[in-house]
Amino acid sequence: MKIYRSEDCDADLVKAKRVAIVGYGSQGHAHALNLRDSGVRDVAVALREGSASRARAEAAGFPVMGNAEAAEWADLVMVLAPDEEQAAIWSHDLAGHMRPGSALAFAHGLNVHFGLIRPPAYLDVILIAPKGPGRALRRDYLRGSGLPCLVAVHQESAAGGNGHALALALSYADALGGGRVGILETSFREECETDLFGEQAVLCGGIPLLIRAGFETLVEAGYAPEMAYFECLHEVKLIVDLLHDGGLAAMGLAISNTAEFGGLVTGPRLVTEETRAEMRRVLADIQAGRFVKRFVLENQAGAPELAASRAAARAHPIEVVGETLRAMMRGTSVVDKPPPQS
Ligand code: NAD
Ligand code: MG
């Protein structure tokens, strides 16, 4: 993979643009603030009528516009509304309002790659995807570092020289702080399909279900839920920190020989050839657009499966015991716990 750093990027390209950030959530606030602190003078935030994010964007000193107004004003529109809202935002508010030669940007390739948004040829369509949540993007930037960023070009308009869309994406990624650590060039397809696969097979599908099944197995066998919570959920962080800092081999060295040998004996009993075959089918569902089709239908129906799964997750015994133990570790009690994060 091609990896770029600040010295490979032209910092002036994005500074010369009027940049509209659509949405002021996790990614939106960090993009807007980092761009401004990197010297991009014209940064505006675009929100729908009555948005709860409006007060925060204004308090941070950004002009706030409607989406269509921002699309007319901007040279570069970065779409950072939720993925399931983007196709409607595009067709109602942005399409037809953006000037030829301007750039439409995303932090996730899903809508463009699966054809839910089909931008006209007169726009540059680029991807700038920081590898982490907005809070980390902002925090690391303020520390003088940054998050690695992915960049990609879906299409380049005829206006401007060959390669101008990639150069603009690199300039934007550098202004986010990505050039301080590394900017990796990929494609919309690769970013989108690997991102969906990783979150489904490993991060948000695999790991949480493995935790829950381990917890349930111990509790059903008569062990204390507190013990099961510590062993199957709490200690995940210790392992993940080791993995994150040093990779699989370093994790193996840091844990006890007992734990290492136990993992060696039992891992292949859980992740079997059948698990791998299912992973390949999961990937095939993603590649063929079957997953995204299901996600679109779920949202059209008002997200009933998500609502039911969230309710069930909250009621699960692992949450009940976890709430008490987390309060204990914070030195508070469940009664005076802080309000839930919005
Ligand atoms: P978010 O839910 O935190 O924020 C969404 C924002 O969009 C909110 O401010 C909301 O008010 C606003 N919004 C909703 N509807 C709108 C509309 N019609 N018009 C204008 N604004 C509207 O979302 P997020 O997590 O920041 O995700 C944004 C994009 O970034 C997605 O494409 C996501 O895949 C991508 N991304 C997210 C992360 C992450 O860790 N959160 C990381 C990389 C990429
Ligand atoms: Mg991801």
Q: Which of 51, 67, 204 to mutate to test the pocket of ligand 1 (most atoms within 8 A of CB)?
A: 51
Please, which residues have CB within 8 angstroms of residue 151's CB and are 6 or more apart in sequence?
Answer: 4, 126, 127, 128, 129, 166, 169, 170, 173, 183, 184, 185, 186
Question: Residue 338: its pLDDT value, please?
Answer: 60
Average pLDDT of span 215-231? 98
In short, whether 134's Cβ falls inside 6 Å of ligand 1 is yes
**Looking at ligand 1, which residue's alpha carbon is closest to its atom 39?**
133
- Atom index in ligand 1 nearest the CA of residue 52 equals 11
Q: How many CB atoms lie within 10 A of CB 144?
A: 8
Mean local confidence (pLDDT), 276-297: 98
108 CB under 6 A from ligand 1?
Answer: yes
Per-residue pLDDT, 337:
57
Shortest-distance ligand to the CA of residue 128: 1
Q: Which two tokens stand for residue 211?
A: 């935790």
**Average pLDDT value for residue range 143-165:** 96
Q: Report the pLDDT averaged over residues 308-313.
A: 94
pLDDT at 251: 94
Average pLDDT score, the chain: 96
Ligand 1 atom closest to Cα of residue 88: 18
pLDDT of residue 336: 61
What dihedral angle (degrees, nearest 10) is formed by the CA atoms of 234, 239, 245, 247? -150
Catalytic residue chosen out of the listed positions 108, 113, 234, 316: 108
The continuous run of DSSP H or E covering 20 comes out as strand 19-22
Which residues 6+ apart lie within 8 Å of 132 measured at CB?
140, 147
Backbone angles phi, psi at 124, to 5 degrees: -75, 140
Which pLDDT score is estimated for 134? 98
Label residue 172 left, alpha or beta by phi (over 0 means left) and psi (-120 to 50 means alpha): alpha
pLDDT at 332: 82
Predicted local confidence at residue 190, as pLDDT: 98
Here the tokens at position 296 are: 């679109």
Q: Whose CA is nearest to atom 29 of ligand 1?
A: 80
CA distance 305 to 301: 9
Give the three-class secondary structure for 40.
Answer: coil
Q: DSSP for 235-270?
A: THHHHHHHHHHHHHHHHHHHS-HHHHHHHHHHHHHH
- Give the CA distances from residue 22 to residues 13, 199, 287, in Å, rounded to whole numbers and listed in that order: 20, 24, 27
Short-list 59, 8, 1, CA closest to 32: 59
Calpha distance 33→296 (Å, rounded): 31
Per-residue pLDDT tens over the stretch 84-139: 999 999 999 999 999 999 999 999 999 999 999 999 999 999 999 999 999 999 99
pLDDT digits (tens, 9 = 90+) for 40-78: 999 999 999 999 999 999 999 999 999 999 999 999 999
102 lines ligand 1 (CB under 6 A): no
Is 92 a known active-site residue? no
Q: Is the pLDDT of residue 82 over 60?
A: yes
- Please report where in the chains the tokens 């099944």 appear, as a residue: 213
Q: How does residue 333 score in pLDDT terms, banded at 50, 70 and 90?
A: confident
Distance between Cα 121 and ligand 1 center (Å): 25
User: How many angstroms separate the alpha carbon of residue 177 from the centre of ligand 1?
Assistant: 19
CA distance 20 to 248: 41
pLDDT at 342: 44
Rounded average pLDDT over 330-336: 77
pLDDT tens digit sequence for 14-41: 999 999 999 999 999 999 999 999 999 9
Q: Is the pLDDT of residue 191 over 70?
A: yes
19 contacts 40 by C-beta, under 8 angstroms: yes
